[in-house]
Amino acid sequence: MKAGKDDINLLPREEKDPGSGSPWLMIALPVLFILAWAGAFGWQTSEVLGLKKQETALSAKKETLVRDMEALAREIGAAATDGDQQKAALINSLLQERVLWSEVFKQFSLIVPKGLWFDNVEGGTTGKAEIRIKGGAFNYLSVAEMMLAMEKSAYFEKPQLIYAQKAVVQGQDVIGFEILCLLKKREGTR
């Protein structure tokens, strides 16, 4: 007869030792990791080689463009004559006389009194930058305030009242005026 302890087994028969894993699995996982790493390394290497080829091609194009640019500069330098230099000097002097009209109108917005308007504003840069203003006002005081504001302004120079004349427009008394003044040249403003 058998002993009782031989029949009692608390562990199921299919269970194996924890240390007795499949030898294929233990080999396959590191091999798969190495293959994945080698594939990623190979892909990165091929990308670097492709970028180096592109860099070489772009460097060659840059050198070609620099040579072409130098050749054009030599041609332009050889083609420059006294007439061209005079034209360049004329263009430069004209650019020096430019007026930034947006700044002029900004200054007007700061000094124009209520009850005064412009009908015509003309600017010119013959010799000196000047502006001619024709407009109207409801009274002589508004015209005087405009003149005073222009005299005090750091932007306008020597304002002159050409005329201020009373007229009736649509049944209302208005003062028509014309002012001529120079614009001061300031650094950074042309």
Distance between CA atoms of 162 and 151, rounded to whole angstroms? 15
Per-residue pLDDT of 44-71, as tens digits, reads: 999 999 999 999 999 999 999 999 888 8
Give buried/exposed letters for 7-40 (b at 16+ CB in 10 A, else e).
Answer: eeeeeeeeeeeeeeeeeeeeeeeeeeeeeeeeee
| CATH class belonging to 99-183 | alpha beta
Tell me the pTM. 0.46
Distance between CA atoms of 52 and 63, rounded to whole angstroms? 17
In the chain, the percentage of residues whose pLDDT exceeds 90 is 25
Please determine, for residue 37, whether its predicted confidence score (pLDDT) is greater than 60.
Answer: yes
> Domain ranges in the chain?
22-79, 99-183
CB 129 within 8 A of CB 182: yes
Which pLDDT belongs to residue 189? 44
Q: Which of 1-10, 102-111, 166-175 has the lowest mean pLDDT?
A: 1-10
Which pLDDT belongs to residue 78? 64
Handedness of CA 55, 57, 60, 62 (dihedral sign): negative
CA 17 to chain centroid, in Å, comes to 73
Torsion angles phi and psi, residue 184, rounded to 5: -75, 140
Which pLDDT belongs to residue 8? 65
Per-residue pLDDT of 89-112, as tens digits, reads: 766 665 565 667 778 888 888 888
**pLDDT band at residue 1 using 50, 70 and 90 as cut-offs:** low
